[in-house]
Structure 1
Amino acid sequence: MRLVIAGLFCTVCLASVVAETNWPGYRGPRENSRADEAKLPITWSETENVVWKTPVAGKAWSSPVIWGDRIYLTNSNEEGSYYSVVCVDKNTGKVVYDKRLYSTPLPQYCHPFNSYASCSPVIEEGNLYVSFGSPYNACLDPATGDVKWERTDFVCNHFRGPGSSPYIYGEMLILQFDGSNFQFVTALNKKTGETIWRTDRSVDFDDIVAATGKPEREGDWRKAYSTALAIEVEGEPLLISLGSKALYAYAPADGKELWRVELGKSHSGACRPVYENGLIYMPIGAGKELWAIRPKKDSAEVVWKHTRSVPRRPSVLVLNDLLFMVDDDGIASCLNAITGDTFWQKRLGSNFSATPLYADGRIYFLDEVGTGHVVKAGQEFESLAENKLDGGCMGSPAVSDDALYVRTKTDLYRIEKSKGK
């Protein structure tokens, strides 16, 4: 256990050092979608504050990650017949490599709203980890895209397509598989890809049809798309994982379930939990409720619930005692993160999938039709700008130094203040 804890602390310390340059996972170095010191532009367009724009063919809703001078994207096509990784030079926008990793003539079904490459990669020095759900998981050499190890043996029917991203914890790579047929969390040796532990979900889905003895809607209520998060509570590490109908805490060393909070009939949770103020903040999925949960080593309690305009896809953003979110239909909210009370709600416009981002006193909301809303981070709503790009955002943005990196449905952008401004 001590070795695992030490590994986590080293990861946290590294994040604090490299936060200005590296964006190793889809919610950044501190896993909270915050780039506090970055001086991002307030306004942009196709002709303003765009340093470069690089077309990215295919259909993929994953978010970019950044290490050093390179940006990494997972990619696929609409049919899901191949999976690939794209590496882009951060300074020039030129494609360094576009490498096909895996091909299949018989991909799983994927709902048209989803993509076959919705799981975002995660990176550390010397290793890039990619997941395309159960069909393909791998560790790559970031310099070349060459495969160090790969796994194609996981069995899970995602039913609507994959969505859970890989997560580095110490010497392990954590993967979640919440499908219609199997639901489990597993830890792999990140150097070899070998399984260290696997823990099945324990909740009673309560969906068996008496007449057939089979799950209702072919197991549709059993699926989820969230990503794990490690926290420390009372001096002990907990691996927090949102599945269908329950939030779980596991012991990272061996996968033992420590506690479970049941969520009623909610399913299809896609938002990643956030841990701030001693609370886990978590939209629960189809139930469209936001829960604040106080974790302990061996139990947890629900502190408050919020039921108005709660997202199913974009995760929430917590800034000290303020919580910002935008629901799938475009209603943004600011809550008191301690009590759950509402400070303001405002309709921003179109639909949203991307998680909001904080930088330098501002919240950045990017919607599915290409509008970037910049809002003051405060208890009173104040719109600072509305910006337009040609394509909409499904994945979440990344930040490196003072530049914003946005992946739209068709292109990757570097957005930064023009020199002299």
Structure 2
Amino acid sequence: MNVARRPFPRGTWAALTTLAALLAQASSATADWPQWRGPGGQGHAGDAHDLPLTWSETENVSWKTPLPGRGWSSPVIDAERIWLTTAVESEISAEEKAARLKAHPGNSLVVSGPVQLRALCVDRTSGRLLHDIELFTISDPQPIHSLNSYASPSPVLATGRLYCHFGDFGTACVDTAAARVVWSHRELRLDHENGPGSTPVLWRDKLIVHCDGRDVQYIVALDAATGTVAWKTARSGELRADTQLKKAYGTPLVIERDGRDVLVSPAADWIYAYDAATGEELWRLSYGVLGFSIVPRPVTAHGLVFMSTSFMQPELLAVRLPEAGGAPAIAWREKKGAPNMSSPLIVGDELYVVSDKGVATCLDARSGRPVWTERLGGNFSSSPLLADGRIYVGNRDGDTFVIRPGTTFELLATNRLDGQIFATPAAVGRALYLRTDKALYRIETPAAGATP
């Protein structure tokens, strides 16, 4: 464990999380951590405080709960419980594996026999696994990329309801009090090629999901109460002929513009804006470069939306949001350090990104000017979190790096856990919740007088 020696002043960045908190939708306001990347969807943990700087398998771990199956979805949290999704895979013969891979061209694909898709519930205080709910059994699942899982999209938590999305494999709503399925939907069909990746967004009474496959591309809203389609809008931007360049795994962000809730939605080659209520396309903007297999979720500040074009020479883009009656435009672009999978993080006037190969970069958010670049080490899929005035980000080796935000790079600590980190951490109160490929952890400094 490597720990920086300089003490860290608490509360420095608390005021900077206010904007992100205001973006949280009223329908999920009662959950402490209702969605991937927190209440505002931008990676800010506004009420986290007194978080531990260091931890290990034997230090500052309140509990560790092994999880069945495999999944990269990030935890969502209410007052008493933590919810996640997982996939329980089964063996497949060598002959069937070869046949399935032949039918699905692609790179680094893996296949499974029948897959059970499940929702898990863990007690927040004790770490005890309370519920393991079967949502779907897929007898002949599509292959997935070796870096993906069948349960990568994160669930969304609202009052009494958990919404679980698995792309082509189905969407389900769970009554969290009764631990039973309220509705399920399996009509949003598409060929992912690499497996599901888009996380849904809950806006008022609608659950909104991206469906950007190699065969079809659209965005759709389901009625949150019934699971029926409320609206469905086809992607309108012209795409390249190669079907592998048509797919995307993005997650939208809801922002308020001119008194209207606007859904900012990154897809292959284009970023779109839709009326969240109706699905009407408000504008679209070409990246001007190849952009596909989009994974990072956009963030917003200073009248700009920040996103990455993801694979094959990715670029980090700052999109200037249009004023009433105007058009969007690309304010700046930066190639160096642009991530394929990890989402950006905005803190005040600085934008932070971590590339898949472990290079962290800080840029001036308004101009795109690089401020500093440092190698952390390892490979990254998880997105950074701002909590208690620090940036936390984990790699696929099980290391979590703790960085002080600012115009000078300062690594405060590097903390190792067993397993790999694909999921993004959550932070509520004094605790940090980390999921590895093996377990869920509650990371917390013991209270004074507590038995270690």
What is the TM-score with the length of structure 2 in the denominator?
A: 0.86
- State yes or no: 1:291 paired with 2:317: yes
Determine if contact 2:23/2:40 at 8 Å carries over to the other structure. Answer: no
Secondary structure of the 1:353 match is: coil
Q: CA deviation at 1:182?
A: 0.7
Q: CA deviation at 1:63?
A: 0.5
Q: CA deviation at 1:152?
A: 1.0
Q: CA deviation at 1:253?
A: 2.0
Q: CA deviation at 1:37?
A: 4.0
Mark the runs of 5 or more structure 1 residues left unpaired by the alignment: 1-7, 208-215
Matched residues in 1 for 2:22 and 2:339: separation?
A: 31
Given candidates 387, 408, 411, the residue that maps to 1:359 is: 387
Matching residue's letter, 1:30: G
Aligned residue number for residue 59 of structure 1 = 70
Secondary structure of the 1:344 match is: strand
- Mapping for residues 14-413 of structure 1, pairs under 5 Å: 22-38=32-48, 39-78=50-89, 79=112, 81-207=115-241, 216=242, 219-263=243-287, 264-286=289-311, 287-296=313-322, 297=324, 299-413=327-441
Mark the runs of 5 or more structure 2 residues left unpaired by the alignment: 1-20, 90-111
* Alignment RMSD (CA, Å): 1.8
Q: CA deviation at 1:77?
A: 2.6
Secondary structure of the 1:199 match is: strand
Aligned residue number for residue 4 of structure 1 = none
Q: 1:72 to 1:395 in 2, by over 3 A?
A: same
Q: Deviations over 1:163-199 (max 9, x none)?
A: 0011101111101111011110001111111111101
Q: CA deviation at 1:14?
A: 7.5
Matched residues in 1 for 2:117 and 2:328: separation?
A: 39
Matched residues in 2 for 1:34 and 1:84: separation?
A: 28
Secondary structure of the 1:87 match is: strand
Aligned residue number for residue 12 of structure 2 = none
Q: Deviations over 1:70-127 (max 9, x none)?
A: 0001110343611000000000000011111111210111112111000000011111
Matched residues in 2 for 1:12 and 1:277: separation?
A: 20
Q: CA deviation at 1:362?
A: 1.1
Determine if contact 1:23/1:67 at 8 Å carries over to the other structure. Answer: yes
Matching residue's letter, 1:26: W
Q: CA deviation at 1:13?
A: 5.9
Determine if contact 1:277/1:320 at 8 Å carries over to the other structure. Answer: no
Secondary structure of the 1:134 match is: helix
Determine if contact 2:27/2:204 at 8 Å carries over to the other structure. Answer: no
Matching residue's letter, 1:229: L
Matched residues in 2 for 1:14 and 1:22: separation?
A: 12
Determine if contact 2:45/2:426 at 8 Å carries over to the other structure. Answer: no
Q: 1:70 to 1:9 in 2, by over 3 A?
A: same
Matched residues in 1 for 2:157 and 2:47: separation?
A: 22
Aligned residue number for residue 417 of structure 1 = 445
Matched residues in 1 for 2:390 and 2:330: separation?
A: 29
Matching residue's letter, 2:408: E
Q: Deviations over 1:211-253 (max 9, x none)?
A: xxxxx3xx11111111111111222221111111110001122
Q: 1:165 to 1:77 in 2, by over 3 A?
A: same
Determine if contact 2:307/2:316 at 8 Å carries over to the other structure. Answer: yes
Q: 1:277 to 1:13 in 2, by over 3 A?
A: farther
Aligned residue number for residue 5 of structure 1 = none
Secondary structure of the 1:384 match is: strand
